[in-house]
Structure 1
Amino acid sequence: MPALRSWFTIPRGSHFSLANIPFGIVSTATSNSPRVAVAIGDHALDLEAFAANNGFSALSAIQPHQAVFSEPSLNSFAALGRPMHAVVRKYIQSVFAEDTPYPDVLKNNAALQKQALFPLKDVQKHLPFKIGDYTDFFVGMNHAYNCGVMFRGAANALNPNYKYLPVGYHGRASSIVPSGTPIRRPHGQFLPNPAADEKVPVYAHIKKLDYELELGAFVCKPNKMGEPVPIGQAEDNLFGLVMLNDWSARDVQSWEYVPLGPFNAKNFGSSISTWVVLMDALEPFKVKGIENDKEVLPYLKEKDDKTVYDIQLKVDLKTNSGSTTTVANSNGRHLLWSFPQCLAHHTSTGCNLQTGDLLGSGTISGTAAGEYGCLLEGTEGGKKPFKVGDEERTFLQDGDEVTFTGVCGTDEEALVGFGQVTGRIEPALNLGY
């Protein structure tokens, strides 16, 4: 498919080509009220200003709902449903198209361009949704297997249920933050010497701070309590994807996870990218995921075998000294279960998901060195340090900055990307005990 061309200058290699049109929440120096925008090249189109100046004059479907673009989250726009998301995205694409049928809307309207188009470097980006609940799944099978080998041996690496259902845990929505927000090293209870015969924990700042390379999906359509979402309808309940860094305290996790799984090891911070890539924009990049050699139960069986996305994922680590190393390259295809399957399973008991709920994929790892989505895997639990410039790392140190990048496609004029999600580690507080 040839790249869509625009009258507006979009730099080659931009994640926000005309093929993308991701949605987010921004504020500016001229107006500090957060509102809805889309990213286009190295600019943001303020949809509140665009709507207020008849930008949607040729799209009758959205006109009764234009107030959603003045809200400080995407929740109300998302709740309008995927058909509305699709027509708004296509309309914005047509407004920016080289041969736009609506030249007077923006192309020939210098006043509106000045009022509604802002360089991305000049806008403040916020959390895209008001997130009510957050469930993190564990559907990156390579990661699950590698961690299982470390803790239980190869014969018992995957639990018996792993290939029959998407395993997940209930995360903490209140500590999800937008890209660029610093992450403070937490304190926690853990074993200072796990190999000791007597298991006596301490409470101190954690030593084994890790990142987790994940994707996250936002729910747009709620379901009623007691009414599961059929697998054939589950994708219609999803708005779009972001990149997700589910920061992890590995020393706390190894002490607390039996018998109920992650808790404080995961609740101190999760970072997400600020532009949400719509499901429609990702559709051309659907691929097969990891093949499941078990018979999936009917409520989880999808008709199409292309259920995940060819998203090129990269992890960079920058130290205080300025040295930067690409720690890992992975791909969104390394998932056993899809987001529709995760949603169908989540609601299979009748659990009622809400607009703005976030579903995480769990760590996405490949099968070889250099493809691991966390340091726990890459350093074999801290046994094998790696180099960042002249320094060594096993886990993250204070001042380290982790950046995830995700993008679909190879045509530099038609990339569909997420930008970045970045977080810098701040020292732990001195608690005095």
Structure 2
Amino acid sequence: MSEQNPLDLPEGDPFGPHNLPYGVFSPAGSATDPAPGSAPGSAAADGRRVGVRLGSYVLDAGAAGAALGSPYVSLLAQPTLGPLLAAGRRTWSDVRRALTAWVTVPAHRDVVRPLLHPLSDVTLHLPFEVADYVDFYASEHHASNLGRMFRPDAPTPLTPNWKHLPIGYHGRSGTVVVSGTDVVRPTGQRKAPADTAPVFGPSTKLDIEAEVGFVVGAPSTLGTPVPLTDFREHVFGLCLLNDWSARDLQAWEYVPLGPFLGKSFATSVSAWITPLEALDAARVAPPARTEALLPYLDDSAESVADEPGGYDLRITVSLNGHVISEPPFSTVYWTAAQQLTHMTVNGASLRTGDLYGSGTVSGPSPDQFGSLIELTWNGRDPLELPDGKRTFLEDGDVVTMTAWAPGPGGSRVGLGEVTGRIAATRG
């Protein structure tokens, strides 16, 4: 029997030519065969290169560009996505059009096929250098759940500002890690309400947050806000994101300045960045607004009417292989465009490689909650799993998030998974 051509994908493959997410990979044996002229210990030294996922293979995009005489080879023959991200929207579209032709036009098959590597044989890396990292709090269901949990006597579960602006915090870009990286249980101060003084030690309430991350490509000018209409001029694509959270550390430290050590120890992202163009069929209107928005955030205006800000992404969260939640991203109140605009309205500039998270994605029903603090109601109602009960994460637990979105012609667009295993505290 002849070997199947990796360009001949099974019908319905969510990583077909309609998708083509970008990543950075090292082929098998790269550590012993570094790129010519590379410095020891550099990204190029371990053979890193831009790849595009096709089914269960990854295409060496730089090698394909060189073999086919592409004018974009200088952007693709790189150990990071940074140069491509910085090139801007017109180039992103041109490169995507070229890649689609490379993997679909019959005349290219003999050139492209040897440049496809089985995913099982490669090492995947963080695909871009993270510049700044911001995380939002954009799901009304999530914010309402936490409000009911921690402010049960308040007249409304949402804070007074929540329906007027996207709430967020600045995180730590240096601890953003690629899927598959172990997450070491953080240590810090915690104080339960009944305790007379804080104690120090490993977190006992380690949690997950199912999120979507947006990756900025083209930068902006310091002092110049980015309007809603320019969202697609600056944002290259999106990925799944897990904003690991130490709830006990967070509860003690967050007054009055918000999250710090309870969040900054690790944030996991997928190895694959899905370009926004691949998700055009998944664009939907956001939930109805129940408060009038200030003009800079008003996405009901005619000028943005053809740019629906929501995305119909179907997320699945698994703990040790058992599905525990399926949060729908379409329910998120504040859109990625509104988040970007609010993030820059004070004149803050964007940099290539900026990453911002949606905040925990939760739907209206308990099986759609995107965090353990909601799923177990802060530990009151443990999850009953085949391998035992869970309130918060234990050492050795493995959390995996996957997702898909509607694609053209009834197809599905797969998002790269994000996985992390909890490792015991060090030291």
TM surpasses 0.5: yes
Query: Amino acid of the residue matched to residue 152 of structure 1?
Result: R
Query: Amino acid of the residue matched to residue 127 of structure 2?
Result: P
Q: Match of 2:48?
A: 34
- 1:410 Cα deviation after fit: 7.6
- 1:83 Cα deviation after fit: 1.5
User: Aligned equivalents of 2:200 and 2:142: distance in 1?
Assistant: 28
Q: Match of 2:277?
A: 280
2:88 to 81, 90, 98: 81
Secondary structure in structure 2 of the residue aligned to 1:142: helix
User: Aligned equivalents of 2:418 and 2:292: distance in 1?
Assistant: 36
Q: Match of 1:143?
A: 142
Return 277-286 or 45-54, whichever deviates more.
45-54
Q: Match of 2:151?
A: 152
Query: Amino acid of the residue matched to residue 183 of structure 1?
Result: V
Secondary structure in structure 1 of the residue aligned to 2:339: helix
**For the structure 1 residues 410 and 354, does the alpha-carbon distance in structure 2 shift closer, same or farther, using more than 3 Å as the test?**
closer
1:366 to 355, 363, 367: 363
Spell out the pairing of 1:44-193 with structure 2 (5 A cutoff): 44-54=58-68, 56=70, 63=71, 65-97=72-104, 100=105, 103-104=106-107, 106-109=108-111, 112-114=112-114, 116-153=115-152, 155-191=155-191, 193=192
Return the structure number with greater helix share: 2
Q: Match of 2:41?
A: none
User: Aligned equivalents of 1:298 and 1:17: distance in 2?
Assistant: 40
- 1:30 Cα deviation after fit: 4.2
- 1:52 Cα deviation after fit: 2.1
- 1:189 Cα deviation after fit: 0.4
Q: Match of 2:343?
A: 346
Query: Amino acid of the residue matched to residue 425 of structure 2?
Result: A
1:203 and 2:200 correspond: yes
1:313 and 2:315 correspond: yes
- 1:234 Cα deviation after fit: 2.3
Q: Match of 1:21?
A: 20
Return 46-55 or 267-276, whichever deviates more.
46-55
**For the structure 1 residues 346 and 202, does the alpha-carbon distance in structure 2 shift closer, same or farther, using more than 3 Å as the test?**
same
Q: Match of 1:60?
A: none
Secondary structure in structure 1 of the residue aligned to 2:349: coil
Query: Amino acid of the residue matched to residue 314 of structure 1?
Result: T
User: Aligned equivalents of 2:397 and 2:6: distance in 1?
Assistant: 40
1:214 and 2:211 correspond: yes
**For the structure 1 residues 412 and 377, does the alpha-carbon distance in structure 2 shift closer, same or farther, using more than 3 Å as the test?**
farther
Query: Amino acid of the residue matched to residue 69 of structure 1?
Result: L
Residues 17 and 413, structure 1, Cα contact 8 Å, conserved in 2: no
5+ long unaligned stretches in structure 2? 31-45
User: Aligned equivalents of 1:26 and 1:157: distance in 2?
Assistant: 45
- 1:92 Cα deviation after fit: 1.7
- 1:19 Cα deviation after fit: 0.9
Residues 214 and 355, structure 2, Cα contact 8 Å, conserved in 1: yes
**For the structure 1 residues 264 and 36, does the alpha-carbon distance in structure 2 shift closer, same or farther, using more than 3 Å as the test?**
same
Secondary structure in structure 2 of the residue aligned to 1:233: helix
User: Aligned equivalents of 2:156 and 2:245: distance in 1?
Assistant: 23
Q: Match of 2:403?
A: 406
**For the structure 1 residues 162 and 51, does the alpha-carbon distance in structure 2 shift closer, same or farther, using more than 3 Å as the test?**
same
Query: Amino acid of the residue matched to residue 62 of structure 2?
Result: E
Residues 180 and 424, structure 1, Cα contact 8 Å, conserved in 2: yes
- 1:396 Cα deviation after fit: 0.5
- 1:85 Cα deviation after fit: 1.1
Normalising by the residue count of structure 1, what TM-score does the alignment of the two structures yield? 0.89
User: Aligned equivalents of 1:351 and 1:232: distance in 2?
Assistant: 17
Q: Match of 2:327?
A: 330
User: Aligned equivalents of 2:79 and 2:328: distance in 1?
Assistant: 32
User: Aligned equivalents of 1:128 and 1:47: distance in 2?
Assistant: 13
User: Aligned equivalents of 1:389 and 1:361: distance in 2?
Assistant: 31
1:237 and 2:234 correspond: yes
- 1:84 Cα deviation after fit: 1.2
Secondary structure in structure 2 of the residue aligned to 1:107: helix
User: Aligned equivalents of 2:181 and 2:207: distance in 1?
Assistant: 16
Residues 49 and 79, structure 2, Cα contact 8 Å, conserved in 1: yes
| Structure 1 residues 67-122: Cα deviation after superposition (integer angstroms, max 9, x where no partner) | 2212221111011111211121122222322xx2xx33x2133xx522x1101111
1:267 to 254, 260, 264: 264
Identity percentage of aligned residues: 40
Please, what is the CA RMSD of the aligned residues? Answer: 1.8
User: Aligned equivalents of 1:408 and 1:108: distance in 2?
Assistant: 31
Residues 217 and 238, structure 1, Cα contact 8 Å, conserved in 2: yes
Return 342-351 or 88-97, whichever deviates more.
88-97
- 1:337 Cα deviation after fit: 1.0
User: Aligned equivalents of 1:325 and 1:268: distance in 2?
Assistant: 25
- 1:175 Cα deviation after fit: 0.5
2:424 to 423, 427, 430: 427
**For the structure 1 residues 412 and 185, does the alpha-carbon distance in structure 2 shift closer, same or farther, using more than 3 Å as the test?**
farther
Secondary structure in structure 2 of the residue aligned to 1:44: strand
User: Aligned equivalents of 1:80 and 1:30: distance in 2?
Assistant: 31
- 1:307 Cα deviation after fit: 1.1
